[in-house]
Structure 1
């Protein structure tokens, strides 16, 4: 984050509400590098799936975005992962959460793309603890993130994609959706995870 004050703000919001929305959270030069990295890998974006590993499936009635998982192939990706490592350390230090690692991918929404209501983790069945979304550009229209109140159909907050804004929320707690995009929308979706390993074998990402 930019400074300690920003960290204080998002920690307070997470403790109070379970989520935080931080504007100008990431250095603008890094945002530009990440956006350039998206253009570099544009031909390699794939239709996003639902589920993990052997349960992964494509269902464009639920989501139509395209993704590219970070593979460490650029300085921009490595720089962003360093920022998220600092956030992971801060969350662990303040909330004693035992967050083990971080996985993330670029997400691209073109006109008409959406992601219907869902949760990123099911209670007792996932090791995803905190969801993060970083916006890389500022579409004029569409692609808003809608977060719903826990155990309710009422809306908690609607977030307009704005370059540099970082959203964090508890993965099990909040149902959310992405409204249909009108302009191209680029972001990074990521998850801080606990280690759900068995017999010393580290639980794999995705």
Structure 2
């Protein structure tokens, strides 16, 4: 299912830059199955919120995408979660990150949808360690992921959506945004997490 290994560019990119961009990271059959799954659950996408749990709120000035959290309701979802579990193991084995689990959702951007500059984890206040973005389709225009240099307004990299491309980056380190979509853009956004548990209580997802 995975078309890359932890040695070579993958290892060097994460060690030296804190992020990596891997074209054709997963096989085409799985990408097609995930895209078909998006079409299946299309009526059930909901407006994405800001924050987590009791602090969740909707703010169209910050983001306008729609999401659907994985619920294990399709074989495509289960297969993808298994693939990401293998990547979690690879990251732990290679970089000793202590990653505990993985959570993710489908993200749909239609014409004009965006997500302004943000970080996926605030230093010392989140259990999200590594962010993943997998693109499921290749829009003709719009929806680029822009990652900024740490503590800077300078662009580190701008990534155009292309089906099968996987992006991984440190959640606390990089401010990023999604530019307004022109064509429909489908992806999976996910987070490898550490367990910020207290007294044996497992930290909840999302």
TM-score range, shorter chain: over 0.9
Instruction: Quote the RMSD (CA, aligned, Å).
Output: 0.8
User: Which residue number corresponds to residue 98 of structure 2?
Assistant: 98
Structure 1 residue 17 and structure 2 residue 14: aligned?
no
CA contact (8 A) 2:4 2:25 kept: no
Q: 2: distance between equivalents of 1:175 and 1:51?
A: 16
Gaps of 5+ in 2: none
Gaps of 5+ in 1: none
User: Which residue number corresponds to residue 118 of structure 2?
Assistant: 118
Within 5 Å, give how 1:1-206 maps onto structure 2: 1-4=2-5, 8-206=8-206
When normalised by structure 2's length, the TM-score is 0.98
Q: 1: distance between equivalents of 2:175 and 2:169?
A: 10
Q: For the structure 1 residues 203 and 92, does the alpha-carbon distance in structure 2 shift closer, same or farther, using more than 3 Å as the test?
A: same
When normalised by structure 1's length, the TM-score is 0.98
How many residue pairs align between the two structures?
205
Q: 2: distance between equivalents of 1:3 and 1:179?
A: 28
Shift in Å, 1:107: 0.1
Partner secondary structure for residue 164 of structure 1: coil
Shift in Å, 1:3: 4.0
Q: 1: distance between equivalents of 2:4 and 2:103?
A: 24
Partner secondary structure for residue 90 of structure 1: helix
Partner secondary structure for residue 54 of structure 2: helix
